[in-house]
Amino acid sequence: MDEHAILSGYDIWAPSYDDRDPSTWLDEPFLLAQLRPYPGCRILDVGCGTGRYLRRLRSDLHRVVAVDVSQGMLARARGDTKGGRRISWVQASATSLPFLPQSFDRVMSGLVLDHIRNVEEFFNQISLVLAANGRAIVAGVHPEMQRLTGAEIQVSTNVARAHLAGHIHEVSDLVAAAQRAQLQVHAVEEPPVTQGMVDRRPAWSYKLGRPALVLLSLQHGRQVTK
């Protein structure tokens, strides 16, 4: 992952980044159904961005840590997230997490995979920090959608421009990498762009019916009874 380019690009993008587009209709229900946190649960958000996933949790019930490589995104998330003072904010790379092994009961990560060249490193980091019997929910842009729209991202604002390189990973390769990291794959979903999404964003008409995201529900292989 070119961390400097990602960091500077998302710092530029943070103030105008739209985290309420119709794609959220696909991954947030999956996250809520699969994460299954409990009171006191230790939750890590890897690549928290604007805090979209964090806004779906009650930080007063859980011990939450949010990580992003971009300080701009962390600032945006801190401002947009209700109860943000109870969340610990950490600037760090998704492939080099600064936490002790088995520090978290749940890990969630949205739309980070396409910025990572070597997904083995990503899943190994999740496996390292995830506790026994812990769950991880990962959402990424579907490779078919990347091929349709282009894997690269061009960010342009009134004050600056940035280019974010993208990496295409086949679903089978993501599953294999997770398994090699001792993460059992409990569910894989590849939801498509729906007519309702196109109605909200007419410019997406050429995407209708095409897989939009790949959603993974994972559990660590070292299991205990909870």
The DSSP string of 196-225 is HHHHH-GGGGGGBTSB-EEEEEEEESS---
Please report the pLDDT score of residue 80 as a whole number: 76
Domain presence at residue 174: yes
Residue 226 within a domain: no
Please report whether residue 157 resides in a domain. yes
For residue 75, what are the domain limits? 3-220
Distance CA 101, CA 45 (A): 16
* Residue 123 lies inside a defined structural domain of this protein: yes
CATH number for position 78: 3.40.50.150
Query: Can you give the pLDDT at residue 226?
Result: 38
Task: Determine, yes or no, domain membership for 96.
Answer: yes
CB 169 within 8 A of CB 140: yes
Question: Does 225 reside within a domain?
Answer: no
Q: Nearest-CA neighbor of 22 among 208, 170, 217, 146?
A: 208
| Number of structural domains found in the chain | 1
Domain membership of residue 118 (yes or no) is yes
Chunk the chain into consecutive blocks of 10 residues (it has 226) and report each block's average pLDDT, rounded to whole numbers. Answer: 58 60 92 95 95 87 93 87 79 96 97 93 97 96 94 66 80 98 97 96 96 97 52
Residue 99 placed within a domain: yes
